[in-house]
Amino acid sequence: MILDYLSSIDTALFVIVNRDLSNLFFDRVMPLVSFAGNSGAVWILLAVLLGLKNRHFRLRGFIVIALALVGSFLLADELLKHLFARPRPFLVIDPVNLLITAPHDYSFPSGHSATAFAAATAMALMDRRLTPAVMLLAAVEAYSRVYVGVHYPFDVMVGAMVGVLTGWVVVRLAGSRYGRHDAGQFQRWRY
């Protein structure tokens, strides 16, 4: 009963985002945002750019971001999706404004949202000044997955939670392994 109620809310929210809020501008922009999140590409690029700008971030920061991306992918895409096996909304709801090529895996949770929030959380914990920008970018990427028709809102919310948890754990483990005030390049970490 409760699951049916939550599912109906999820479906209603999906229809609002995917159909009711649809417009020509977002119909062109959101597929690009969604594509930029494939394989964590935008986050890897951002980590490289941060490394070029800040020598304290370079190797260790890039490794932490990579581990957060891999960890969230394994948890969301390889474990939870197969455990829950929720069909994508375009397979259940008719009509759907499907703006990208239809994925062939399951819907719950969103892997894009998990990797986006894992990387954003790790970056925010390593340098708190990045928090508003990276969290906004992660939220836009998550929203794009509903807008383009491949995830329900609850998929991206749970994906975001998986990502935040993964990013936090990876940064904490890295901090406990190397310490917060290593000599040289790691002194500027802020967590």
Q: What DSSP string describes 125-151?
A: HH-GGGHHHHHHHHHHHHHHHHHTTS-
pLDDT tens profile 23-37? 999 999 999 999 998
pLDDT of 56 reads 66
Q: CA-to-CA distance for 16 and 142, rounded, in angstroms?
A: 15
The structural domains of the chain, ordered by start, are 2-186 (1.10.606.20)
- Gyration radius (Cα) of the chain, Å: 18
Which residue type is seen at 19? R
Q: Name residues of the chain where pLDDT drops below 70.
A: 56-57, 176-191
pLDDT tens across 142-160, in order?
Answer: 999 999 999 999 999 999 9
- Looking at residue 165, its pLDDT comes to 94
In this prediction, residue 87 carries a pLDDT of 93
Residue 113: count of CB within 10 angstroms of its CB: 30
Residues 74 and 112: their CA atoms lie apart, in Å, by 12
pLDDT of residue 54: 74
